Amino acid sequence: MINLLYARRGPGQAEPLIAVVSTEDEARTIEAEVVDGEPETRVVWETHEVVGQVGDDVHIVFLAAGGDSGPEAADPIAVGVFADRREAERDLAVRGTGDDSAHYFVRSLPLGWRRRGWPFVGRR
């Protein structure tokens, strides 16, 4: 299982991905850090089952919300998490046949990744 954590700052605002962790304990620790640093921010997370042996990286297929595509999208929605990049790219190819195909992308992130800057200054 992989947990993807997002920061929810308010209605109508982007909810950026802020961390990728493997355990609920790690997710709760990050949630506590966020609440401690910015009490009005809520951390929400999704748990994704991953088939196969997860190594150092996970490969996430995202749908960019609001038509903002690519790895720099401010508010992506994870639609699948994979242990193998080729599997993620195969999933992307299947999703790429619809009207919103230009808005899907794959991003590979190390397990334990945290977004640079607030609230993780000095962390990877």
pLDDT by residue (tens digit) across 63-81? Answer: 876 655 554 566 788 999 9
H helices then E strands: how many in the chain? 2, 6
Residue 120 in any domain: the answer is: no
Residue 63 in any domain: the answer is: yes
Residue 10 in any domain: the answer is: yes
Q: What are phi and psi of 115, to 5 degrees?
A: -60, 135
Residue 70 in any domain: the answer is: yes
Domain residues for 78?
2-110
Cite the DSSP H helix spans in the chain: 24-37, 85-95
pLDDT on residue 39: 85
Under 8 Å between Cβ of 83 and 59? yes
Beta bridge partners, 88, equal none
Q: How confident is the model at residue 124 (pLDDT cuts 50, 70, 90)?
A: very low
For the chain, what is the mean pLDDT? 83
Weakest mean pLDDT among 30-34, 47-51, 64-68, 86-90? 64-68
pLDDT by residue (tens digit) across 35-72? Answer: 888 888 899 999 999 988 899 999 999 887 665 555 45
pLDDT on residue 74: 63
Q: How many domains does the chain have?
A: 1
pTM over cut 0.75: yes
Residue 50 in any domain: the answer is: yes
Residue 115 in any domain: the answer is: no
pLDDT on residue 99: 64
Sign of the Cα torsion 78, 83, 86, 91 reads negative
- pLDDT reading at 85 higher than 80: yes
Residue 67 in any domain: the answer is: yes
Residue 118 in any domain: the answer is: no
